[in-house]
Amino acid sequence: MRFSSRIRCAGLARIIGVLLLAAALGACSAVKLAYNNLPELSYWWLDGYFDFDGAQTPKVRDELAQLLAWHRQNELPRIIGLLQEAQGLASADVTPVQACQLADRVRERLLAVTERAEAASAELALSLSDAQLQQLERKYAKNNTDYRKDWLDRSPAQVQEKRYDQFLERQEDFYGRLTTEQRALLRQQVAQSVFSPKLAYEERRQRQQEALVLLRGFQGGNGGPRASPAEARAALHAYIQRIADPPPGPWREQQQALLQEGCRNLAALHNTTSATQREQAVRRLQAYQGDLRQLVAAR
Q: What is the pLDDT along the chain (299 residues), one digit of tens a residue?
A: 433 333 333 334 443 443 344 434 443 445 777 888 888 988 999 999 999 999 999 999 999 999 999 999 999 999 999 999 999 999 999 999 999 999 899 889 888 988 999 999 999 999 999 999 999 999 999 999 999 999 999 999 999 999 999 999 999 988 999 999 999 999 999 999 999 999 999 999 999 999 999 999 998 766 668 899 999 999 999 999 999 899 999 999 999 999 999 999 999 999 999 999 999 999 999 988 998 999 999 86
* Best CA proximity match to 133, nearest among 212, 227, 53: 212
Question: What b-and-e string marks burial along 40-55, b requiring 16 or more CB atoms within 10 Å of the CB?
Answer: eebbeebeebbbbeee
What is the tally of helices (H) and strands (E) in the chain?
A: 14, 0
User: CB atoms < 10 A from the CB of 139, how many?
Assistant: 15
What is the Cα–Cα distance from 196 to 184, expressed in whole angstroms? Answer: 22
What is the Cα–Cα distance from 231 to 241, expressed in whole angstroms? Answer: 15
Q: Residues 252, 258, 260, CA angle at the centre, nearest 5°?
A: 105
CB 186 within 8 A of CB 167: yes
pLDDT at 223: 63
pLDDT at 165: 97
* Angle (deg, nearest 10), helices 229-244 and 197-218: 170
CB 91 within 8 A of CB 278: yes
pTM (global) more than 0.75: yes
